[in-house]
Homo-oligomer: A and B are copies of this chain.
Amino acid sequence: MGKGRLEAFSDGVLAIIITIMVLEMKVPHGDSLASLRPLLPVFISYILSFIYIGIYWNNHHHMLHAARQVNGKALWANMHLLFWLSLVPFVTGWMGQNNFATLPVALYGLVLLMAGMAYYLLAQSLAALDGKNSTLAQAFGKDWKGISSIVIYAAGIGLSFVNHWLGFATYALVAAIWFIPDKRIEKKLVKDQSKEEI
């Protein structure tokens, strides 16, 4: 009930975020290869952010698919997630335009960390709503993946003050971990269905 419109709204916001990020790559004035060069860091941060938004869309899709219902609290938990993701174009632009300087890299990580927390909270609120024995509650039981991501983001923020490339590499690592859609839900779904068949 209402799940459909929540998905539609989230899809809309994620589609816009992923697309307006490209507006931070300002068209350069010259027509030479040299005029493109300053855009290279912006392009690299664009790629990472594109992958991140793609991962969020993908996992959000899987989680909502498994969720049986949503309520007011879940709607706001979702809005909270979209809030932090809506800041991604800003921090992507700041990080890229400043050639991966320390503070922008740290702030980029902070936004990822907050989004990671918001996703964790959304997952927990959906799992609680579906009940202890639901697919979602068991798939997200301890949610080691969600929690460890948050820890690694925090480490990445710290590392970015040691060496900004270390920070960036840490964020790329978390992206790699999440790249594959969340198998836990699929596994649980398959198990539940085979149980029902018995």
Contacts and interface: CB of A to CB of B under 8 A. Distances in A.
Given A11-B9, A103-B32, A181-B75, A89 B22 contact: yes
Given A16-B19, A22-B90, A5 B5 contact: no
Interface in A41-93: 47, 50, 54, 57-58, 61, 65, 72, 75-76, 79, 82-83, 86-87, 89-90, 93
B18 A50 contact: no
Most buried by B among A58, A65, A101: A58
A129 interface: no
A33 interface: yes
Nearest to A89: B22
A19 B22 contact: no
A61 B2 contact: yes
A32 B101 CA distance: 9
A189 B159 CA distance: 53
A130 B28 CA distance: 44
Interface string A2-35: 1001011101111111111011110111111100
A30 B86 CA distance: 22
Do most interface residues of chain A lie in helix, strand or loop, or is the interface mixed?
Answer: helix
Contacts of A104: 31
A103 B137 CA distance: 50
B61 A27 contact: no
A94 interface: yes
24 contacts: A2-B61, A5-B7, A11-B12, A12-B15, A13-B18, A18-B86, A19-B20, A20-B23, A22-B86, A22-B87, A22-B89, A25-B90, A27-B90, A27-B94, A28-B94, A29-B97, A30-B98, A31-B102, A32-B103, A33-B103, A50-B79, A54-B79, A58-B72, A58-B79
Which 3 residue pairs across A and B have the least CB separation, nearest first?
A12-B15, A31-B101, A31-B98
